Structure 1
């Protein structure tokens, strides 16, 4: 039932006053109690597998773009921005250092490739419009501005915090002598050994994006002209902070805890 449903038809048609606020009946919430759950010491944990932060750089990305609006505009009212990452890839560089006692390697230099786009939600007032001089249409337009590039990571510069771990595949083969005279090689008999290591893929995580932006119409209209425009130039500096992680196995010395929950069978 609406706020004016109690009016008669002739009263509703004659009333020009806006409807008053409608009453809303709130829903009462039931308070719940909570308390800390007791725990007991469990078995000792000596090894875990968790994401390790390899790098957390803040990358400065300058961008220039020309944006075409869908209608002739008189004023930009609001611009909301978000950043989306399509690619965060780390490519190692030499030298490689062997992990002592293993056939795994680490590296202290790498290139970090970044690709993505900035999504801008632009609200602007359109020229012309409804014919009412007191109202101006407000248009919303979404544009995507792509960017791609790379940056250096190294332990020397302090941008590579923890070392990635990389296993390299190994292949070996053995040949045999001829069974007839032991003077010739057998071309039909070989022994092969292939060791394939499946590495944890480093991955990226978006942390923060800081936008510094200058927008202006181009070309600038003459002072005596009515100020309208349909395109504008954007000069933007994006400071993008990302995490680069790799899941690694770590040795620790801690004790796990398990909750103490009352049940039908009491603990011994």
Structure 2
């Protein structure tokens, strides 16, 4: 009996290292009071849920007799915001976006497990990417007093001169140019959730124990995304978005009855 026990395969030895206990001391923190600090953080502009409807045919090789399980995930290739309507921020040369088109594109990754015609064969696996794309209309702000995308429009100006000798024609060899280029934070998207409603079937109904090689799927995808933009926020009571006033040839528009242009947009 002992010889039989010795002939059995024993577990392989594993090298281990004993860890040395480390001390853990409290780190004292000292707060510096700030009345109204200005921070730069991503601001949520919208969080829409888009309904996407797709239909596709997937070929199964070898042919299937039964679908066992289908797992799905969403991969986004783009979430792009295209502004189409603006309102000037009073006292600045910046604009807030009041309406925009949101373009979304990506694909649904499907992992299909199915049984083949073999009586005791292993489960087969088929991975397919189902593309989708589309757009939706967004209005801002989404809620009363909510955030909106903020963009600075670049400015170009040109001045031309008379011929000082005749005062009757233009000087084509003399001009003044001014360019103000504003570099904006690009609005971007984040994937939040995906809810799938799916019907899978063979276009030609197969009898029991018979095979089918095409799987037709109809998917309704409810896709939730966040649309964000990095903005400057002044903290404190009644936090507000801070926008700069840049020197340009076009003066900022002041609200009626307010001779001092404000530098913030709430």
**Normalised by the shorter chain, which TM-score bucket?**
0.7 to 0.9
Q: Does 1:211 find its partner at 2:196? A: yes
Q: Is the 8 A contact 1:108 1:160 kept in 2?
A: no
Q: Is the 8 A contact 2:141 2:148 kept in 1?
A: no
Query: Any idea what the Cα deviations from partners look like across 1:210-250, whole Å, max 9, x if unmatched?
Result: 1111111111124xx63311111111111111000000011
Once residues 134 and 20 of structure 2 are traced to their aligned partners in structure 1, the CA distance between those partners, rounded to angstroms, is: 54
Question: What's the CA shift for 1:173?
Answer: 0.8
Q: Does 1:91 find its partner at 2:82? A: yes
1:129-208 paired onto structure 2 within 5 Å: 133=119, 135-155=120-140, 158=143, 161-208=146-193
TM-score (norm: length of structure 1): 0.77
Q: Does 1:65 find its partner at 2:56? A: yes
Question: What's the CA shift for 1:182?
Answer: 2.6
In the superposition, relative to structure 1, how do residues 54 and 157 fare at CA in structure 2: closer, same or farther (>3 Å)?
A: closer
Larger radius of gyration: 1
Q: Is the 8 A contact 1:55 1:160 kept in 2?
A: no
Query: Any idea what the Cα deviations from partners look like across 1:30-49, whole Å, max 9, x if unmatched?
Result: 66665653210136262111
Structure 1: gaps of 5 or more residues: 13-18, 255-268
In the superposition, relative to structure 1, how do residues 228 and 36 fare at CA in structure 2: closer, same or farther (>3 Å)?
A: farther
1:75 to 66, 73, 76: 66
TM-score (norm: length of structure 2): 0.77
In the superposition, relative to structure 1, how do residues 85 and 63 fare at CA in structure 2: closer, same or farther (>3 Å)?
A: same
Query: Any idea what the Cα deviations from partners look like across 1:157-198, whole Å, max 9, x if unmatched?
Result: 759952110111111111112132232210110000011111
Once residues 242 and 36 of structure 1 are traced to their aligned partners in structure 2, the CA distance between those partners, rounded to angstroms, is: 41
Task: Find the residue that maps to 1:206 and give its secondary structure.
Answer: strand
Once residues 114 and 145 of structure 2 are traced to their aligned partners in structure 1, the CA distance between those partners, rounded to angstroms, is: 43
Instruction: Could you list the structure 1 runs, at least 4 aligned residues long, displaced by more than 4 angstroms after superposition.
Output: 21-36, 156-161
Match of 1:46 in 2: 37
Q: Is the 8 A contact 2:117 2:210 kept in 1?
A: no
Q: Is the 8 A contact 1:205 1:244 kept in 2?
A: yes
Question: What's the CA shift for 1:137?
Answer: 2.4
Q: Does 1:119 find its partner at 2:102? A: no
Of Structure 1 and Structure 2, the greater strand share is in 1
RMSD: 2.9
Q: Does 1:103 find its partner at 2:93? A: yes
2:212 to 220, 224, 229: 229
2:225 to 242, 256, 261: 242
In the superposition, relative to structure 1, how do residues 191 and 102 fare at CA in structure 2: closer, same or farther (>3 Å)?
A: same
Query: Any idea what the Cα deviations from partners look like across 1:104-127, whole Å, max 9, x if unmatched?
Result: 001221111110000011121222
In the superposition, relative to structure 1, how do residues 247 and 157 fare at CA in structure 2: closer, same or farther (>3 Å)?
A: closer
Once residues 183 and 24 of structure 1 are traced to their aligned partners in structure 2, the CA distance between those partners, rounded to angstroms, is: 101
Structure ranking higher on relative contact order (CA contacts 8 Å, 6+ apart): 1
Structure 2: gaps of 5 or more residues: 238-266
In the superposition, relative to structure 1, how do residues 73 and 36 fare at CA in structure 2: closer, same or farther (>3 Å)?
A: farther
